[in-house]
Structure 1
Amino acid sequence: MSARVCVIGAGLAGAALAWRLACSRCPGTETTLVGDSSEGRQDASRTSGGLVRAFDIDPWHRGNAEAGLAELLADPLLRKWAGYRRAGSTYILDTSRPDQLAALAAARAMAGVRIADAAELAAEGWRGLPEHAFAVFEHEAGYISPHEFRKALTVDFAVRSGSVLLDGPVVGLERTHSGRSWNVRTPDGRSREFDVVVLATGAWTPALLHRQGWRAAGLTTKAIQYTLVQAAGHRPAPFIDETSGLFGRPAQDGVMLLGVPTESWGVDPDRLDTDPDLTDRALHLAAERLPGLTPTARLRTVVAADCYGDRAGLVLEPVAAAGGGVFTFSAGSGGSAKTVLPASAHAAEQILHG
């Protein structure tokens, strides 16, 4: 299929999708990536902790996370671009919940993982876990820099034949008189015509749809917050503790990232405030669960927002109200770092051959 494709949004999802389209070298297909540098200051790609692992509770995330980690590990260039650091991971499940009990059964069938019960976790320094806690350990898991990864993908995209990179927000999206394509207006005053428009605009997607007079169709925003602390003692591998909500990973030397999920839904990504209570709760839980870790100073609290959807994961979805030719690729639901590679490959396939 030949097409003029405009990907709006140069976060990790948009950069990966545009890069996939450019890499395809499909005859007659021209891809334009529109990025807004002002939007990028607080987007999820810049602030994400970047955990990458194969295991996840949700089956969709699990399958794509496993494929994404495999592609990353198989390609030295992708690992370099992403700033991949192998650190292992510990995912602690609350098996009193049916979905997590089912996920534990799925984990037992996965290669490269080790299962541990609460007693084994206690021997490895964890405290206060309920008896029904089980952990999934992954040796090859680790973390990347989503911000550096998207920059590298954008640079490689820009040098490929037939690819165009524009900087600045989209100020207008209108159907052409023929009704078969879309005009996208950018701040330079130019209007460009495209057959396919993909909104990879993350937390700004619901507002953009509403400005067009279209329903957000199950998409909403949620705040994300974590705190970087100077820490002494044993800094554990990246972890998620579903029994308490605590998550964390080591950052630079002597620094630990710690956080708990927020319940701040429907937030404005341009007007975010830190919640000191969340930081206090994260540090309190860290003291309970990881007594070998001693935070000595709070360095910085990071707050951002991401886009969440009714369907799990980052998928290409048509905007029904647009009447054709416009899609969203934004509902990463906090998991884009570990699933973006297979999700972008599938989305590009849909665009080129769907």
Structure 2
Amino acid sequence: MCVVGAGLAGAALAWRLAGARSADVEICLAVDSPDPRDASRASGGLVRAFEIDPWHRGNAERSLAELLSDPLLRKWAGYRRAGSTYILDTGRPGHRAALAAARAMSGVRVAGAADLAADGWRGLPEHAFAVCEPDAGYLSPHDLRTALITDFAARRGATLLGPVAGLERTRSGGPWRVRTVGDGPRECDVVVLATGAWTPALLRRHGWETAELTTKAIQYTQVRVAGRRPTPFVDETSGLYGRPDEDGVMLLGVPTESWGVDPDRLHAEPGLTDRAVRLAAERLPELLPGDRLRTVVAADCYGERAGLALEPVAAAGGGMFTFSAGSGGSAKTALAASAQAAHDLLRG
């Protein structure tokens, strides 16, 4: 089996496969130089158990539980416990159902608009509720994937390859031939494309249908702030999200609407930063935004399902899968999703 792509998703999957493999299975991981525009390097790394989508929430819960129970994973990931505030707009039907699910979750507290006002929030609609998680926090997806790759390479039956230069099938139903820079061709029965935002273009180059996959730009800005900094948060009533960074700095952002982007041709949208800073001043008046230090722009792969899952590439004729549609949330779900994907691959 060959996993192509060593972002957090690909590194976690290869690591799982190498740790659970059968004696007759060889696992290869094709690694390129980390791109500063890939989601694993650019991600703010928020991790929490709560998500609106039930399937996504299950993966997020299992991932956080594993992270909190494993000191080595926490060390690899540089995990920092910081809490989480996820503000729901219960005027939306899906949010009402998610709030009901949150009330049944352990380790979370549901707060109303009055409670949020005591925490420094202003201007929220009366029907806003927040899911507060004291054990949530953030990690470095880049540091975690680097540690997983290092541990993967040390395992028996695991092979680290260079960047992929070609991917082809010599005959119908036969093995895949993966050509890598510096390593030559290698035949594989199974290839998993964990290539993130580059996946749709890669599939199109081979003539395979990609209707269910697309890309989207992600942007946030590091802003120097004074005053009261909140816990990491998502405010669904306005779109604003953020988390504390180093002393006196916040990461602030709002969702982009830049779909179908080329991950090699990204550019910052100043208007998004203006909107994020304005919303932060309105919703968190005790937080005083100052200088804008750096804007980070990246892209991720989005699919019909809100998160990572192993999906067959039917047009390829078998033995080809994607594990790419992180949809901007791989940091929260990669541990659980990679465990499930490895289980499915090793058991046929």
TM-score bucket (shorter structure):
over 0.9
Question: Any idea what SS the aligned residue of 1:49 has?
Answer: coil
How many Å separate the matches in 2 of 1:136 and 1:178?
51
Question: Any idea what SS the aligned residue of 1:7 has?
Answer: strand
Runs (5+) with no aligned partner, structure 2:
none
Q: CA deviation at 1:318?
A: 0.4
Q: Is the 8 A contact 1:221 1:305 kept in 2?
A: yes
The equivalent of 2:11 in structure 1 is: 15
Of stretches 19-28 and 322-331 in structure 1, the one that deviates more from structure 2 is 19-28
- The TM-score normalised by the length of structure 1 is 0.97
Q: Is the 8 A contact 2:161 2:183 kept in 1?
A: no
- Cα distance, 1:264–1:33 mapped onto 2, change above 3 Å: same
Residue from 168, 171, 179 that aligns with 2:173: 179
Q: Does 1:253 align with 2:253?
A: no
Q: Is the 8 A contact 1:11 1:40 kept in 2?
A: no
How many Å separate the matches in 2 of 1:221 and 1:89?
27
Q: Does 1:29 align with 2:25?
A: yes
Give CA deviations for 1:170-189 in whole Å, capped at 9, x if unaligned.
Answer: 22111133732100112237
- The TM-score normalised by the length of structure 2 is 0.98
The equivalent of 2:2 in structure 1 is: 6
Query: What is the 5 A alignment of 1:116-131?
Result: 116-131=111-126
How many Å separate the matches in 1 of 2:306 and 2:238?
22
Residue from 142, 146, 161 that aligns with 1:147: 142
The equivalent of 2:270 in structure 1 is: 276
Q: CA deviation at 1:66?
A: 0.5
How many Å separate the matches in 2 of 1:137 and 1:62?
14
Give CA deviations for 1:130-169 in whole Å, capped at 9, x if unaligned.
Answer: 001000100100001000000000000001011111222x
The equivalent of 1:96 in structure 2 is: 91
How many Å separate the matches in 2 of 1:298 and 1:334?
23
How many Å separate the matches in 2 of 1:14 and 1:51?
19
How many Å separate the matches in 1 of 2:66 and 2:247?
28
Question: Any idea what SS the aligned residue of 2:110 has?
Answer: strand
Amino acid at match of 2:244: P
The equivalent of 1:164 in structure 2 is: 159
Residue from 79, 94, 108 that aligns with 2:103: 108
The equivalent of 1:298 in structure 2 is: 292
Q: CA deviation at 1:40?
A: 2.3
Q: Does 1:317 align with 2:322?
A: no
Amino acid at match of 2:10: G
Question: Any idea what SS the aligned residue of 1:42 has?
Answer: coil
Q: CA deviation at 1:36?
A: 1.3
Give CA deviations for 1:222-281 in whole Å, capped at 9, x if unaligned.
Answer: 000000011111111100000000000001111100000000000000000000000000
Of stretches 181-190 and 20-29 in structure 1, the one that deviates more from structure 2 is 181-190
Q: Does 1:192 align with 2:189?
A: no
How many Å separate the matches in 2 of 1:246 and 1:177?
51
Runs (5+) with no aligned partner, structure 1:
none
Q: Does 1:69 align with 2:64?
A: yes
Counting matched residue pairs gives 348
Of stretches 21-30 and 202-211 in structure 1, the one that deviates more from structure 2 is 21-30
Residue from 202, 207, 210 that aligns with 1:208: 202
Question: Any idea what SS the aligned residue of 1:306 has?
Answer: strand
How many Å separate the matches in 1 of 2:211 and 2:320?
13
How many Å separate the matches in 1 of 2:95 and 2:290?
34
How many Å separate the matches in 2 of 1:144 and 1:282?
22
How many Å separate the matches in 1 of 2:338 and 2:170?
27
- Cα distance, 1:178–1:220 mapped onto 2, change above 3 Å: closer
Q: Is the 8 A contact 2:14 2:29 kept in 1?
A: yes
Amino acid at match of 2:44: G
Q: CA deviation at 1:114?
A: 0.6
Matched-pair identity in %: 74
Amino acid at match of 1:21: L
The equivalent of 1:235 in structure 2 is: 229
How many Å separate the matches in 1 of 2:325 and 2:153?
25
How many Å separate the matches in 1 of 2:15 and 2:44?
22
**Runs of 4+ more than 6 Å apart:** none
Question: Any idea what SS the aligned residue of 1:137 has?
Answer: strand
Residue from 323, 336, 341 that aligns with 1:329: 323
Give CA deviations for 1:22-74 in whole Å, capped at 9, x if unaligned.
Answer: 1114211111101111x522100000011110001010111110011000001
How many Å separate the matches in 2 of 1:81 and 1:140?
18
